[in-house]
Structure 1
């Protein structure tokens, strides 16, 4: 349910873009993201910081897009969000509290060296996607950018998530506690 809720604003953005234009799609994206926050809170009694940060970015850059009637703002949002994610991962790594380990470390026990590798892998991923977004957004037609944003970046993120989980699974430490069969 949560994954569906996470992608719903993006799906609505795409559908409205296809039916109308980038400005209607942007307005609906802001509204859908606000509704997503409310529904998330009602269902889980908690809203993740990343969801709040994404909503803030959508609201700021979406509002600028609508106010100035310039799609460049909403195009830049993607790269800025990826840059912030990369910076957040770097900062957490440098402070000795890797964010990915904080999120997944209870479920997946691996050496700190592996968490460091995964962190830098995701930093690289976000940087490459941010640069690719700039290229597609400002060198290719708007239609191509919308398709890239909705399908390309989403698919790349899902693929990288699967690769990450498989890599972590491969390096998981075995549980050294043995059940007591003497009872």
Structure 2
């Protein structure tokens, strides 16, 4: 029988972002190649933790793990940090194209990832959410490319961790008014 014990709401976020934060810390203390190795090991640990603690591994975590391990190995093999910098561009661009392609076909692909947590959202709401996140991801891909070409690795990584993660969270929060207008059920306050 599967474990149905409720998990803390922050756990998926921690599993997704802990490897990146570890990468930042190890990079700052030891260097880029040790940080890359730590990132690779941490993302594999995150996949295992997700499977054990959450009972599943999200498609986004799988994709990120494959790219971190692949581009991390290239970074270490060729001794060139540009490979690990390209990974976010590929993820963002891929997700953006996928979501916008789904919108063009009237299939809100984001629904299959988020449906369990967004009760009552209308079909129009799902399409708007897919469109908005698709455009956001394309913008993030372009921004990552601009940053990695114009900034030092140190500045790029610092912004990646301390500016782009909060920007993603803020963008997600900015979608709440649209989702509530489109039928998202808001949980009542608990006594």
TM-score normalized by structure 2? 0.83
Corresponding residue SS for 1:172: coil
Q: Which residue of 2 aligns with 1:5?
A: 15
Alignment of 1:1-183 (within 5 A): 1-105=11-115, 107-172=118-183
Runs (4 or more) in structure 1 with deviation over 6 Å come to none
Structure 1 residue runs without a partner (length 5+): 175-183
Distance 2:140 2:13 in 1: 21
Give the superposition deviation at 1:105.
Answer: 4.1
Give the number of aligned pairs: 174
Instruction: Evaluate the alpha carbon distance shift between residue 104 and residue 36 of structure 1 in structure 2; reply closer, same or farther with a 3 A threshold.
Output: closer
Contact 1:108 1:169 in 2 (8 A): no
Q: Deviations over 1:53-99 (max 9, x none)?
A: 11001111111111000011111111111011112212333444312
Distance 2:27 2:94 in 1: 26
Contact 1:82 1:130 in 2 (8 A): yes
Structure 2 residue runs without a partner (length 5+): 1-10, 186-191
Instruction: Evaluate the alpha carbon distance shift between residue 27 and residue 164 of structure 1 in structure 2; reply closer, same or farther with a 3 A threshold.
Output: same
Distance 1:104 1:73 in 2: 30
Larger Rg, first or second structure (1 or 2): 1
TM-score normalized by structure 1? 0.87
